[in-house]
Chains A and B, each alone.
Chain A
Amino acid sequence: MAKTVDQYFDDLQQTRLWRSIFRSGPGSSTLKRALVIQQNVFLHLFSTKVRTRVLSFSATWYLGTLTLGTFLILVATGIPLMLYYHPSAPQAYADTKDLQFVVSSGMFLRNLHRWSAHAMVFLVFAHMFKVFYRGAYRPPREFNWVIGVILLLITLLLSYTGYLLPWDQLAYWAITVGSNIASAVPVIGDKIHFLLLGGHTVNANALLRFYVLHCMILPLTAMFFVAIHFWRIRKDGGLYNHDSEPATVRARNAGSAVKETN
């Protein structure tokens, strides 16, 4: 009479503790499974029901999900890196070297952070290309495309601000060049340059400002827009494939794209 894992899980779901936390009880009816999504603060952003066809690899190549994956890796590796890194001009470079050569697993965390950052920039672009070439930016998803463009800019700014933090020659000159590009903005360019660096040159103020942007302001802003981005997927009719377009949109496109659908 050995119980299966599923049976143990059913028992667990009937306990008062489980019910008080997750509310939904045991069983696997359609209603039950819908409630699991709907009643969870994180999952309720998503659709309670999804067609399996929409979840196929070819529909999205999972590029958005993979981007979220790299973002979560970056948060999970970035926070431990903050424990050894002082954002001050005399210490930043030495701390970076300590992380690379002295701290246990420091090299692993730092390299994972670095490679995930590269991967995230690549995946964001790949995600946008996929959305663009499938036409998934069309109504009713046009606003979610705009949110996506904002998220692209935040990703690039995260990448740029993180570039300065090792405080080596590469970082220093890259930020010198990059911040001078900001000066090219008409009229207010020099003001943006001054506010971004907290001075006229890349120095201790600039390092601290970039650190705060990189570790606080930009990640929180990204999370805010990611939440809207995911919620809009549900509101705009789920993950994109042609069948998920609302009937009105399909009818409107039918006339102009008869040959395409053949």
Chain B
Amino acid sequence: MAEGKNGPLGNDLSRRKFFTKLGLGSLSIAAVGTAAFSYQYLEPNVLYEPSPVVNAGKPDRYPLDSVTLDVNNGIYIIHSAEGYFSISAVCTHLGCLTAWKQELGIIACPCHGSKFEQSGKKIEGPAPKPLPWKRVWINDDGDLLVDRSTDVPALARDSFVRV
């Protein structure tokens, strides 16, 4: 009242405009919060998906120079002269399950015709990338384990496991 007719904020901001801005501002903040919470809600916090670590059993199940497809887990267990290794069986193109063609000695995708070598190296597309290698190790019980969530360098010494 002491500041006179126009109040402390001056002419530019009448009381009505101030409350309009306050209201719209509050609504905007609430809208941003709602958007953020909605996004969080849509993202599941707990997934009841199978563990990325697969127990592939005793290594001696896999004879030398064999390629074994684990259909349920989408991986190959391969026993080569250098040792055991595992590569993903999920095509890097659009996620179809590939198959090992024993007679041709290649891995082939039934969906769009991508072909890979036994080492995962791409022979022909449309797949953009080779099949990734997965970390393998032997646990205390002597079982061969594969971690599907961890990629390792192809053909690297540490990417094989020897028994």
Chains A and B form a bound pair: yes
**Cβ-defined contact, B95 with A177, below 8 A:** yes
Chain A residues, CB < 8 A from B44: 198-199, 205
Report B40-83 CB contacts with A as 1/0, cut-off 8 Å: 00111001110000000000000000000000000000000000
* Band of interface residues on A: 10 to 19
Chain B residues, CB < 8 A from A205: 44, 47
Interface assignment of A194: CB less than 8 Å from any CB of chain B: yes
How far apart sit A199 and B49, CA to CA, in the bound complex (Å)? 8
Number of interface residues of B (CB under 8 A): 11
**Cβ-defined contact, B96 with A176, below 8 A:** yes
Q: Which of A176, A198, A204 contacts B95 (CB 8 A)?
A: A176
Interface assignment of A200: CB less than 8 Å from any CB of chain B: yes
A194-B43, A195-B42, A195-B43 known; A201 vs B49 contact (CB < 8 Å)? yes
**Cβ-defined contact, B43 with A200, below 8 A:** no
DSSP majority for the B interface?
loop
How far apart sit A125 and B30, CA to CA, in the bound complex (Å)? 41
A200-B47, A200-B49, A201-B49 known; A176 vs B42 contact (CB < 8 Å)? no
Interface assignment of A221: CB less than 8 Å from any CB of chain B: no
Q: How many whole Å from A39's CB to the nearest CB in chain B?
A: 36
Q: Which of B48, B93, B96 contacts A173 (CB 8 A)?
A: B96
Chain A 146-204 interface residues, beta-carbon cutoff 8 Å to B? 173, 176-177, 179-181, 194-195, 198-201, 203-204
Residue of A nearest to B110 (CB): A173
How far apart sit A177 and B97, CA to CA, in the bound complex (Å)? 10
Chain A 197-224 interface residues, beta-carbon cutoff 8 Å to B? 198-201, 203-205
How far apart sit A205 and B48, CA to CA, in the bound complex (Å)? 9
Q: How many whole Å from A237's CB to the nearest CB in chain B?
A: 37
Chain A 91-111 interface residues, beta-carbon cutoff 8 Å to B? none
**Cβ-defined contact, A180 with B95, below 8 A:** yes
Q: Which 7 A-B pairs have the closest CB atoms?
A: A177-B94, A180-B95, A180-B94, A176-B95, A199-B47, A195-B42, A198-B44
